[in-house]
Chain A
Amino acid sequence: MSGKVLIVDDSALLRRQVGAALTAAGYQVVGATDGVDATTKLADVALIVCDINMPRMSGLELLAELARDTVTQRIPVVMLTTEGHPDLIQRAKTLGAKGWLIKPFKAELLLSLIGKVLA
């Protein structure tokens, strides 16, 4: 596996755990603390793993922001969140999200989902 994955979550613990799983699988990783921070780190990003509830800019707001630009709208986004309401999942899908995992995550499920999305 290769490619740079941007992990967007206000929790350093979560960024660390996801980062460890992805690095072990051969991905390069970079972290962002919320949607605003993420918008400054999109260069060469192959995929984004993104939380929903974050300060300053939420995951859904980031999806909407990515969709406004013809370049960034091509970056696939996988949501990783404690939320699980079907309406919220549908809204993320409408905004362009390619997958949804509920925390606490299992590394093998996340890697499998990322592999499918990038295939």
Chain B
Amino acid sequence: MKVILAHSDASTRRRFAQWLTSANHVVHEAGNVAAACSLVSQGADVVIADWHLAGGGASFVKYVRSLDAQHRHYLVVTCGRALNHDITAVVAAGADDFAITSSVTQAEMLARVDGLKRARASAAIVGGSNKSVEFGPLFDLDKVRAWRDVDAIIASELGEQLGAPLQAVVGPSSPVAYSGAISLSLANEKIELQLGIGIERDMVAPFGAALLDGDTSEATLADALRELANVAGGAVKRGAVNDGVSFTIGLPSNAMVCDLPDTRSWYATTSSGLRLRITAIAWASVPRSVRRADLREGMVLASDVRNAAGMLLVTAGTYLTSTTVNGLDRTLDANTPVEVMVPMSGGTS
């Protein structure tokens, strides 16, 4: 396939170009937006563009999408590392897929470029090669064992981290006092997963004693729960590879999804009574418009939120906390539409 490779860093460009040419792709390289636009105007099958391309990666992505009526390029966007707001912005700008420059492997990059073949095959099945097809959240997550069995995987991994076996137990829950969360993305399928690890108020002291030498300061608890979420996410990512699924993992945060209807929620408990609240949710990376009054903690903003004067309030990709929701309550009318990402079974298909 003909591939345009637009990246400002020459060594990264060389590395990607070697990978692609070794798989018999014909690669044309550009180091800035002007050169990339010139190449794209001549047409290609796939465009790989860096989000931070000199001259403006976001502008270039928009330019490529503006050519869709004449020729639709399959667009893979790279960014330095997996930050949730970057990934959301990349997908929202029109990328078909993305890769994290700092961790992408040759096999992963080639698989992402081959996404074009899969898209073409699906288009042919659905409506013939001349028909434009919107690729929705059709991926069956249940075929990924690491996701299906996520409760057992987390119990095993976190049990090792805590030095005590954990059991997965379903039961009524209380609000968490502290939490950590990690996102895993399958951008080609427009799916994002989130795993959350939380502790309720009565578990703060036992958690501190078990893991933190008794330190229960807010910063220490937040850091520890981020790391537990990171370990859990890594285990799911490694497990998914066995099912041929390659997730991109983000950096851990402290915004855990708890109370949405499609959230799977359970406890991981030790025999000594330590109890971690675990949540797992799959999102379709397809924005949905909701009223400001319907915003809830844990939702993810799909686009920037501005006030009536156009002033930026919260950026796309933000996981809403109760503080953010309350802030928007005070700033925006209840009926103001806000674009958010919705859970997989939330009726987006």
Q: Is the interface of A mostly helix, strand, loop or mixed?
A: loop
Partner of A53, one of B82, B160, B211: B82
CB-nearest residue of chain B to A81: B234
* CB of A88 within 8 Å of the partner chain: yes
Which residues of chain A are near B233, meaning CB under 8 Å? 82
Which residues of chain B from 228 to 250 have a CB within 8 Å of any chain A CB?
Answer: 230-231, 233-235, 237-238, 241, 246, 249
- Count of chain A residues near B, Cβ 8 A: 25
Would you list which residues of chain A between 55 and 91 have a CB under 8 Å from chain B? 55, 58, 60-61, 81-85, 87-88, 91
Residue among A55, A87, A104 making CB contact with B160, cutoff 8 Å: A104
Please provide the chain B residues from 86 to 107 with a CB less than 8 Å away from any CB of chain A in the complex.
102-103, 105-107
Is B226's CB under 8 angstroms from A87's CB? no
Q: Give the interface size class of chain B.
A: 20 to 34
Most buried by A among B81, B106, B212, B246: B81
| A88 touching B251, Cβ below 8 Å | no
Contacts of A81 in B (CB 8 A): 234
Within 8 Å CB of A61, what residues of B? Answer: 102
CA distance A106 to B226 in the complex (A): 19
Nearest 7 interchain pairs by C-beta = A82-B234, A87-B105, A11-B227, A104-B161, A58-B102, A104-B160, A13-B224
Q: With A13-B220, A102-B234 given, name 13 new contacts (CB 8 A).
A: A10-B251, A11-B224, A12-B224, A53-B81, A53-B230, A53-B251, A60-B102, A82-B233, A82-B237, A83-B238, A84-B238, A87-B106, A88-B105
Interface residues of A (CB under 8 A from B): 10-14, 16, 52-55, 58, 60-61, 81-85, 87-88, 91, 102-104, 106
